[in-house]
Amino acid sequence: MTKTIALVGNPNVGKSTLFNMLTGQNQKIVNAPGTTVTVAKGYWRDKTVIDLPGLISFIHNSVDEQVASQALMDKKSSLYPDLIILLADAMHISRSLYLYSQLKQLNKPIIFAISMADIAKKRNIILDTDLISKTISAPTVLIDSRNKKSVSFLEDSIYEVLYNIENSKENSKDAAVSNLSLWAKNNFENNIKWVSDVEKKLGVFDYDKITLSDRVDKILLNKFFGILFFLLVIFSVFQLSTYISFPIIDYVDGPIRNSLNLAFLNIFSEGVWQSFVQSTLIETIFTLLEFIPPMFFIFVSLAVLEGCGYLSRAALVSDKLMRSIGLEGKSILPIIIGFGCNLPAIKATRVLKTSEIRRQTAFIIPYSLCSARFSIFIVLSHAFFPKNAGIVIFLLYLISVLIILLISFVMKNFRYYYNKWHNIPQTNISNLVIHLPVYQMPKFAFILKSSFAKLQNFLWGAGRVILGVLICLTFLQSVSFAADNTSKAENSPTVHNSLYGVIADNTALIFAPLGFGDWHFSQAIISGFLAKEVVLGSLENSYSDSNKSLSSNLQTTLAKTSSDGSYSNSLTSLAAFSFMLFLLIYIPCLATVIGIKSEFGLKFSFIAVGVSLSLAYVVSLLFYQIGILFVS
């Protein structure tokens, strides 16, 4: 039977880095049994490796800790390990020794792996592995999780321990205590004393020098400069995800797309294959390609911030601000990134260590006005509100922020009453005490490798779904549903005469109370679910479909529908704003939904989509119906 190895340790000791180093890209995210807490599962050689959520103690204080302790105690759990690797930070070793004092009651083989050994060495902190091993009675290795060569010592140790298990004549022992949580609580003082005694024996932790890290903190965590630097970091990350990515996206979507289209036109003769290649394959490739630059920049910048040690400091600086809306300091990063692009923002929630905070942050991210929505609003606001376009866009940004605050407020209160009802402590003390790592130079080769691996995972996962949806859309658009024979006779039906057009026509009825009960807008909303960038293109297509002689651009066309009603249906300013509100609130794009699903599971993604659609409908409905009362 395959042996299972569990990576256990306090939050922020580098478990995930070690996990990635051991398993490479051979990993998947699974939900812990019966919970929404995600656990990374991977394979090292023929062994299963599990990266358990951060654990401070078996006297658990959060759902994440409950999952980790349950997995280690419950023999029936699919996550139950044969071997435990307890990862400790060389600079904060006492907390790991405390966890070890509880873990050893499980009677499981434990390897005590001390990370950041390189930094300890630089500070002249001597970590004598033989002495530690003898004192705590567990094999001890020093590692640098980011260094493959250093990890090989740990691999040797794993082999040795597993070999001993396999060749041991004794059956695996049961845990020394039946209820470890209760035991940990009753023996809390003894365990603290044991840690203190071990520390005295090791005698290497009496270190109080002012280090380079302390000097850097004097500036970066200064009461005034700290805020300025924090804002500068946030601003830089935001710029990377938007303005630096934009020209690359434009180049990919412009010259590269055109030449690829041309190449395929030459390869395939006109017909079904050409249509399939153009409207599905190429569309899928470019929908995915457009996400690559912002996602890659975000992955790299977050890895740099985490690798150099600033991310924990950022959490400390913004802690009070974010706590007021029920989140934690680090949540500010994904939220700000969301205003650039929602998908990398969802992925960026990985920097948050508590699952409930991660879910709450991911839940509000889709309501941030991303750059794709911004590009739609530029055209729509200039078309419908030519004199007040700037004010309209500002209003939409304001509404986006207000919705985020409102939802956070509701979720904060919901959690308050939920915790009260279930007797869960209102404040998770662990989130208020942040152990800060030493500043260090990030390893760029490692960062690039892990960022490419994350991108590859995304492209493979999202690509299949987007391709599937596009095949359905192409099929719907290619099935003719024209009433008259002339149209049926045509080889390629127009959008309105296709099955897709019929669906758009019927869906338009649902949007009638919101003021935009016209098929042009309902089909734009349907295609906007795929990607917001598609909304303008589909509006343009539908209008050129309705009026073959149309030569002006979309903005002029929409402006005409607004002012003189010369096209099929006109939109009043009220209806236009209602349409924009709907576009702002309903789920940003399919890729984001896939991102939410891969990070938090199918159920959570359904809830997120359901809530956003309902909220978009209710807000637009209320705005339009109340607006009518005032206008009339």
Partner 1 sequence: MLLSDCSINSRCEIVSINLPNDETIRLCELGLSKGTKLKICQLCPFGSVLVSKGTERIGLSSQITNLLEVKYI
121 binds partner 1 (CB under 8 A): no
104 binds partner 1 (CB under 8 A): no
Q: Which of 15, 47, 313, 347 binds partner 1 (CB under 8 A)?
A: 313
Q: Select from 172-180, 243-251, 424-432, 547-555 the region that touches partner 1 (CB under 8 A).
A: 424-432
Q: Which of 432, 509, 512, 602 binds partner 1 (CB under 8 A)?
A: 432
Strand partners, 7: 51, 85
Which is nearer to partner 1, 227 or 265 (by Cβ)?
Answer: 227
474 binds partner 1 (CB under 8 A): no
Which is nearer to partner 1, 227 or 512 (by Cβ)?
Answer: 227
Q: Judging by DSSP bridges, how do beta strands 38-44 and 83-89 pair with one another?
A: unpaired
105 binds partner 1 (CB under 8 A): no
Which is nearer to partner 1, 384 or 439 (by Cβ)?
Answer: 439
Q: Select from 148-156, 225-233, 478-486, 547-555 the region that touches partner 1 (CB under 8 A).
A: 225-233
Which is nearer to partner 1, 426 or 549 (by Cβ)?
Answer: 426
Sign of the CA dihedral running 181, 352, 314, 19: positive
Q: Which of 30, 162, 175, 221 binds partner 1 (CB under 8 A)?
A: 221
Report DSSP state, residue 52. P
Which is nearer to partner 1, 148 or 185 (by Cβ)?
Answer: 185
Binding mask 135-174 for partner 1 (x = CB under 8 A): ----------------------------------------
512 binds partner 1 (CB under 8 A): no
What's the burial of 140, exposed, middle or buried (CB within 10 Å: 0-12/13-18/19+)?
Answer: buried
Q: Which of 121, 123, 412, 449 binds partner 1 (CB under 8 A)?
A: 123
**What are 187-195's contacts with CB under 8 Å, separation 24+?**
188/59, 191/98, 191/101, 191/102, 192/98, 194/97, 194/101, 195/94, 195/97, 195/98, 195/101
HSE toward the beta carbon, residue 328, CA cutoff 13 A: 24
Q: Which of 164, 186, 190, 222 binds partner 1 (CB under 8 A)?
A: 222
Q: Which of 126, 176, 192, 212 binds partner 1 (CB under 8 A)?
A: 192
Q: Judging by DSSP bridges, how do beta strands 47-51 and 38-44 pair with one another?
A: antiparallel
Binding mask 48-77 for partner 1 (x = CB under 8 A): --------xx-x-x----------------
Q: Are 333 and 237 in contact, with CB atoms under 8 Å apart?
A: yes
Residues 613, 623: Cα–Cα separation, whole Å: 15
Q: Judging by DSSP bridges, how do beta strands 140-142 and 38-44 pair with one another?
A: unpaired
Q: Select from 38-46, 316-324, 525-533, 583-591 the region that touches partner 1 (CB under 8 A).
A: 316-324
Length of the chain: 632
H helices present in 24-147, as ranges? 63-73, 93-103, 117-122, 129-136
Q: How far is the CB of 189 from partner 1 (least distance, A)?
A: 9
Which is nearer to partner 1, 398 or 424 (by Cβ)?
Answer: 424
331 binds partner 1 (CB under 8 A): no
Q: Which of 256, 262, 321, 626 binds partner 1 (CB under 8 A)?
A: 321
227 binds partner 1 (CB under 8 A): yes
Nearest Cα residue to 131 out of 214, 209, 204: 204
Q: Which of 241, 245, 312, 612 binds partner 1 (CB under 8 A)?
A: 312
Residues 307, 447: Cα–Cα separation, whole Å: 8
Q: Are 39 and 51 in contact, with CB atoms under 8 Å apart?
A: yes
Q: How far is the CB of 436 from partner 1 (least distance, A)?
A: 4
Residues 477, 538: Cα–Cα separation, whole Å: 12
Residues 208, 569: Cα–Cα separation, whole Å: 75
Q: How far is the CB of 111 from partner 1 (least distance, A)?
A: 22
Strand partners, 480: 498
Judged by CB under 8 A, the number of residues near partner 1 is 50
434 binds partner 1 (CB under 8 A): yes
Q: How far is the CB of 398 from partner 1 (least distance, A)?
A: 24
Angle at 454 between CA 453 and CA 455, to 5 degrees: 90
Residues 71, 225: Cα–Cα separation, whole Å: 44
271 binds partner 1 (CB under 8 A): no
Residues 160, 10: Cα–Cα separation, whole Å: 25
466 binds partner 1 (CB under 8 A): no
Q: Which of 429, 602, 618, 628 binds partner 1 (CB under 8 A)?
A: 429
47-51 β-sheet, strand order: 27-31, 38-44, 47-51, 4-9, 83-89, 110-115, 140-142
Which is nearer to partner 1, 184 or 589 (by Cβ)?
Answer: 184
Which is nearer to partner 1, 128 or 505 (by Cβ)?
Answer: 128
Q: Select from 355-363, 423-431, 573-581, 607-615 the region that touches partner 1 (CB under 8 A).
A: 423-431
Q: Select from 160-168, 431-439, 519-527, 555-563 the region that touches partner 1 (CB under 8 A).
A: 431-439
Q: How far is the CB of 283 from partner 1 (least distance, A)?
A: 46
Residues 55, 40: Cα–Cα separation, whole Å: 15
Distances from the Cα of 184 to the Cαs of 65, 109, 315, in angstroms? Answer: 14, 19, 30
122 binds partner 1 (CB under 8 A): no
Q: How far is the CB of 416 from partner 1 (least distance, A)?
A: 15
What's the burial of 212, exposed, middle or buried (CB within 10 Å: 0-12/13-18/19+)?
Answer: exposed
Sign of the CA dihedral running 311, 317, 323, 325: negative
Buried b vs exposed e over 303-318: b needs ≥16 C-beta within 10 Å? bbbbbbbbbbbbbbbb
226 binds partner 1 (CB under 8 A): yes
Q: Select from 75-83, 184-192, 357-365, 401-409 the region that touches partner 1 (CB under 8 A).
A: 184-192
Q: Name the residues that contact partner 1, by CB under 8 A.
A: 56-57, 59, 61, 91-92, 94-95, 98, 123, 125, 185, 188, 192, 205-208, 213-214, 217-218, 221-224, 226-227, 230, 312-313, 315-321, 323, 425, 427, 429-436, 438
